[in-house]
Amino acid sequence: MSKIIIIGCGIVGATIAYELSLIPQLKITVIEKDSLACGSTGAALGVMMAVISGKTKGRTWRLREASLKRYQSLIPELEAKTGITIPVNDDGIIKLLFAEDKLDKWQKLAQTRSQQGWNLEILTLGQLQQRCPGVAMENLIGAVYSPEDRQVNPQILTKALVAAAQENGVEFQFQTDCQIPAVAVDSALDSSSGSQTCRQIETNGAKLDCDQVIIAAGLGSAPLTESLAAAVDIRPVLGQALRLQLEQDLGLDSFQPVITGNDILFVPLGDRQYWLGATVEFPDEDGKVVAQPDLLTKFKQEAETFYPAIANAKILASWQGKRPRPFGQAAPVIGKLDGFENVWLATAHYRNGVLLAPGTAEEIKKLMGFA
Ligand SMILES: Cc1cc2nc3c(=O)[nH]c(=O)nc-3n(C[C@H](O)[C@H](O)[C@H](O)COP(=O)(O)OP(=O)(O)OC[C@H]3O[C@@H](n4cnc5c(N)ncnc54)[C@H](O)[C@@H]3O)c2cc1C
């Protein structure tokens, strides 16, 4: 049996664990220093912008499309296996278009999507008003509607992935910090590839043998790669978000899509509650970032310009999280760690880790020779 260790139990590590658990003859252990979905995944809004993303080719589209397709079967599969209901919004995503947006660019994208087998509709102001009566139409020129993009509760999804993987025999070690000590690396270079092999990892003092290691530790991936002298630069980009209760429902009962405008997401949760997020706050030169309360206030004020009812909403909760953003290369980072034969990276998904988790798992499976 091949022994695989996955470091990190956010959405990415949990999805890889579940997808690999469907392959016989693998002994999979997931090591998580805290609890499941406690990192970036714990703060995420779960909006999956694939068809509406503007990406039409190359790796970025391939990963998005693969993820969107896999989610169609993955969610019912997990629900049936675990009995956990995963909250999903299937009403699609509406992107508001402002005067500075180029309508012809969106019309062209709608054509491309149609050729690719996906649906994207351009809405006039009248159609938008009919479907989303709570949106203020001033400053808008219309909207784009993507019925096949979705939103999912990332924390419950991760819980379901873990439960399903456990049922398939995956072992999870929570509250277990993981290090890769230099002594565990087989320094005798493989003569054909010139690569090293990681034979063992260390967890809270214990040592675990491994044939393959997958680093899916989000921001924690950077120190792990540093310890192997193959540092991958990943920096935090902070996001603040709010849970709001509105005085009255904004839209139609029968149609509650996610609404996005000017990089602001408005996610309906039912019972007049919504998530509003998220700010994008970059770190200083030392890689440190601290939440700025005034940025959240400004963010909310901007959202009020196209969703006026937010002004009187009750704030039920606010939170923040840090997105793992790669520095000097595109997100996400998926592939073999430089100089290693058996260490894989599935990390640095920045703003789209929930969306891209199934595509990432598929890519990792292929790269490891399991698909
Ligand atoms: C406010 C906010 C809103 C967002 N909204 C969306 C959205 O709408 N849609 C979307 O697709 N994405 C969104 N994202 C981005 C998304 O959250 C991330 O891309 C995704 O969660 C990354 O998942 P991950 O599993 O790689 O990392 P994480 O969720 O950070 O998981 C990594 C795990 O590794 C563990 N770990 C780290 N180091 C070690 C170690 N040495 N040993 C053991 N365990 C370790 C951590 O404890 C953590 O649990 C949002 C992010 C934020 C902050």
Which pTM does this prediction carry?
0.97
CA distance 357 to 321: 18
CB-CB neighbours of 112 under 10 Å: 14
Express each pLDDT in 327-361 by its tens digit: 999 999 999 999 999 999 999 999 999 999 999 99
Residue whose CB lies within 8 A of the most ligand 1 atoms, among 11, 12, 35, 41, for a mutation test: 41
Q: How far apart are CA 226 and CA 369, in angstroms?
A: 26
353 lines ligand 1 (CB under 6 A): yes
Cα→Cα distances 229→7, 182, 337, 341, Å: 17, 9, 10, 14
Q: Which atom of ligand 1 is nearest to the CA of 47?
A: 8
Domains defined along the chain, listed by start:
1-88+150-233+328-371 (3.50.50.60), 93-147 (no CATH), 236-323 (3.30.9.10)
Predicted confidence at residue 180, as pLDDT, reads: 74
Helix (H) or strand (E) holding 161: helix 154-167
- E-strand stretches of 25-175: 26-31, 47-48, 88-89, 93-98, 121-123, 140-146, 150-152, 171-173
Asked whether the beta carbons of 214 and 4 are under 8 A apart, the reply is yes
What pLDDT is stored for residue 286 in this prediction?
Answer: 87
Rg (CA), the chain: 21
pLDDT of residue 190: 52
Q: Whose CA is nearest to atom 35 of ligand 1?
A: 8
Segments of the chain with pLDDT less than 50: 188-189
Nearest atom in ligand 1 to 267's CA: 8
Does residue 50 contact residue 350 with C-beta atoms inside 8 Å? no
Cα separation of 58 and 311, whole Å? Answer: 41
Q: Give the pLDDT confidence of 312-321 residue by residue, as tens digits.
A: 999 999 999 9
178 Cβ closer than 6 Å to some ligand 1 atom:
yes
> Contact at 8 Å (CB) between 195 and 186?
no
Contacts for 105 with CB less than 8 Å, ≥ 6 apart: none
359 ligand 1 Cβ < 6 A: no
